[in-house]
């Protein structure tokens, strides 16, 4: 990475054009056919394979790897897409080191798993690169379903319903479909506009009509959708960001990490994205790491992640933490923010060390300060704008079985629904399973 100019404050254009290009290149280049064959040859093709159990979408991993090993990557892609229509994106962003690869027998025996994620990308890229769509629609059923939210859960649900012959209206509040795949994932994980290319490919099934810029509660209502459609699937995500509850949070250059990532992802020219010289990111998840690493790649000189508990409690995987450290990001654990300091704009953040007690996490009297001209909040999101009448579980929509809500004819899945972890692959599974239940219900099979 190029040397960082010492320009103070939050400014754009810290680096030269070549540095931006190099810094935001694909972090994990795809396998060649030869490399894929070698990687596939390491698989034991286990019976009752633990990697399949560890995959939220239950892809038949030994089968697709065997298909790659025998020179049939297109068949491998079909095996993947049958269970996970967003298998290409999941191959790029799924924490495989915590799921299928952690369960791999090779990992247990040798400490080096089969590269399942990279093999999945090889297969899906091969098929998608040929153009066209591998699935055809069933005969029209005459049923119409509204899907609200075009993120991973909504897209998976819409595709499965369209494939079964239903007409699907896909609503989303943003100008583009894709949800967090488009707006919330580090740019170096999905280069060359992959998120939108995947959406366009998925829509090739037909039978899905997109309505972008339509927000639930502002442009459309649940009652209105119930009156017009035979079923409704809610995949509205988590629009609200938790507050720091620290004095001075309102100061300028203190912003939500998700907004920063979205702005970066939509920028045609990365040199227009302003970043501080001294950046502090508060949080311990994937969003915190994505914001911190990208700040460094944009030219920030000092970037620090601060998390209130220990490293083992961070929801960001060890691999993500290692990536951050390798890019020069400092990770401080066991500390919580007390106040944002500065006259108008942030100049520093004061933290208190924390300790674990039987009563929970407590602040100690020992404090320290970190210089900062930009602060990103990455402390989790919450459900915003849930329609009245829906039963909630905690801060999310309560569901039973494959996404059934407390209201008949209304299903929900993805981050807005209670029960699952907030992963792309989990959202895909919930959207797919809800679609199967919606189909069975509408066709009198369930």
99-119 pLDDT, tens per residue?
Answer: 999 999 999 999 999 999 999
pLDDT tens digits, one per residue of 130-167: 989 999 999 999 999 999 999 999 999 999 999 999 99
Residues 179 and 90 in one domain: no
Give pLDDT, residue 422: 83
3-state helix, strand, coil in the chain (%, to 5): 35, 20, 40
Q: Is 16 inside any structural domain? A: no
> Which H/E stretch holds residue 132?
none
Residue 2 belongs to some domain of the structure: no
Domain end call among 329, 347, 377: 377
Domain match, 205 and 263 both: no
Specify the CATH number for the domain of residue 154: 3.50.50.60
Indicate whether 378 pLDDT > 80.
Answer: yes
Q: Is 0.85 topped by the overall pTM?
A: yes
The predicted-structure confidence for 12-58, as pLDDT tens digits, reads as follows 999 999 999 999 999 888 999 999 999 999 999 999 999 999 999 99
Write down which residue in 75, 103, 128 finishes a domain. 128
Given a cut of 90, whether residue 5 has pLDDT beyond it is: no
Residue in this structure with the two tokens 């979205």, named with its chain if needed: 262
Q: Do 218 and 259 sit in the same domain of this protein?
A: no
Is 103 buried (19+), middle (13-18) or exposed (0-12) by CB count in 10 A? Answer: buried
- Residue 403 belongs to what domain range? 144-239+383-442
Q: Which of 377, 409, 434 is the last residue of a domain?
A: 377
Q: In the predicted model, what is the mean pLDDT of the chain? A: 95
pLDDT top residue among 378 and 131: 378
Residue 136 lies inside a defined structural domain of this protein: no
Q: Are 362 and 248 within one domain?
A: yes
Same structural domain, 259 and 333 = yes
Is residue 319 in some structural domain?
yes
pLDDT at 3: 52
* Domain-located, residue 5: no
Contact (CB, 8 A) for 325 and 29: no
Q: Are residues 259 and 344 in the same domain?
A: yes
Is 355 found in the same domain as 260? yes
Q: Answer yes or no: do 121 and 178 share one domain.
A: no
Predicted confidence (pLDDT) at residue 6 exceeds the cutoff of 80: no
Q: Under a CB-based contact definition with an 8 Å cutoff, are residues 241 and 256 in contact?
A: yes
pLDDT confidence band for 394 (50 / 70 / 90): confident
> Does 436 lie in the same domain as 366?
no
Question: Could you give the 3-state DSSP secondary structure of residue 295?
Answer: helix
> 345 in helix, strand or coil?
strand
- pLDDT > 80? residue 415: yes
pLDDT of residue 230: 98
Residue 278 lies in a domain: yes
Number of independent structural domains in the chain: 3
Per-residue CA distances from 366 to 188, 336, 352 (Å): 38, 11, 6
Unique residue bearing structure tokens 């119930």: 226
Residue 153 main-chain phi, psi, to 5 deg: -65, -45
Domain co-membership, 118 together with 167: no
Instruction: List the CATH number of the domain containing 43.
Output: 1.10.1060.10
Q: Is residue 19 part of a domain?
A: no
pLDDT confidence of 252, banded at 50, 70, 90?
very high
- Residue 21 domain-assigned? no
Q: Are residues 235 and 269 in the same domain?
A: no
Whether 251 and 366 share a structural domain: yes
Per DSSP bridges, beta strands 330-333 and 302-307 are parallel
Mean pLDDT in residue range 400-407: 97
Q: Which residue would you say has higher pLDDT here, 428 or 383? A: 428
**Which DSSP string do the residues of 368-425 spell out, in sequence order?**
EEEE-SEEEE-S-EE---PPTT--EETTEE--BTTTB-SSTTEEE-GGGBTTS-S-HH
pLDDT band at 126 (very low <50, low <70, confident <90, very high): very high
Distance CA 93, CA 319 (A): 12
């Amino acid at each position: 990475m190029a040397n960082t100019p010492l320009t103070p404050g939050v400014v754009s254009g810290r680096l030269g054009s070549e540095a931006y290009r190099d810094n935001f290149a694909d972090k994990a280049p795809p396998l060649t056919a030869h490399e894929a064959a070698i990687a596939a040859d390491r698989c034991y093709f286990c019976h009752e394979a633990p990697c399949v159990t560890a995959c939220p979408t239950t892809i038949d991993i030994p089968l697709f790897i065997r298909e790659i090993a025998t020179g049939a990557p297109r068949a491998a892609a079909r095996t993947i897409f049958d269970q996970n229509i967003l298998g290409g994106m999941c191959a790029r962003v799924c924490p495989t080191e915590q799921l299928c690869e952690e369960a791999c027998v090779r990992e247990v025996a040798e400490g080096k798993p089969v590269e399942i994620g990279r093999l999945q990308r090889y297969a899906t890229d091969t098929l998608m690169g040929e153009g066209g769509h591998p699935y055809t629609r069933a005969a029209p059923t005459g049923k119409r379903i509204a899907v609200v939210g075009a993120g991973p859960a909504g897209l998976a649900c819409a595709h499965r319903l369209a494939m079964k012959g239903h007409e699907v209206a896909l609503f989303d509040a943003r100008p583009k479909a894709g949800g967090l795949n488009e707006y919330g994932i580090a740019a170096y994980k999905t280069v060359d506009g992959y998120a939108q290319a995947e959406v366009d490919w998925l829509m090739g099934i037909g039978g899905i009509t997109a309505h972008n810029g339509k927000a639930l509660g502002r442009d459309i209502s649940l009652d209105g959708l119930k009156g017009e459609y035979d079923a409704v699937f809610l995949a509205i995500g988590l629009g609200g960001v938790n507050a720091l509850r620290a004095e001075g949070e309102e100061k300028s250059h203190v912003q939500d990490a998700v907004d920063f990532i979205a702005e970066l992802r939509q920028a045609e020219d990365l040199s227009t994205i302003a970043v501080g010289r001294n950046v502090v990111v508060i949080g311990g998840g994937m969003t915190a790491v994505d914001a911190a690493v990208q700040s460094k790649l944009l030219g920030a000189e000092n970037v620090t992640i601060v998390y209130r508990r220990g490293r083992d409690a961070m929801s960001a995987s060890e691999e993500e933490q290692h990536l951050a450290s390798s890019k020069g990001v400092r990770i401080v654990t066991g500390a919580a923010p007390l106040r944002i300091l500065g006259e108008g704009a942030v100049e520093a953040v004061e933290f208190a060390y924390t300790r674990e007690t039987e009563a929970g996490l407590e602040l100690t009297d020992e404090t320290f300060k970190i210089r900062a001209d930009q602060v990103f909040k990455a402390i989790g999101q919450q459900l915003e704008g849930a329609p009245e009448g829906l039963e909630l579980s905690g801060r999310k929509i309560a569901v039973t079985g494959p996404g059934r809500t407390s209201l008949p004819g209304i299903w929900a899945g993805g981050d807005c629904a209670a029960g699952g972890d907030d992963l792309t692959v989990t959202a895909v599974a919930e959207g797919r399973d809800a679609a199967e239940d919606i189909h069975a219900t509408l066709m009198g099979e369930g």
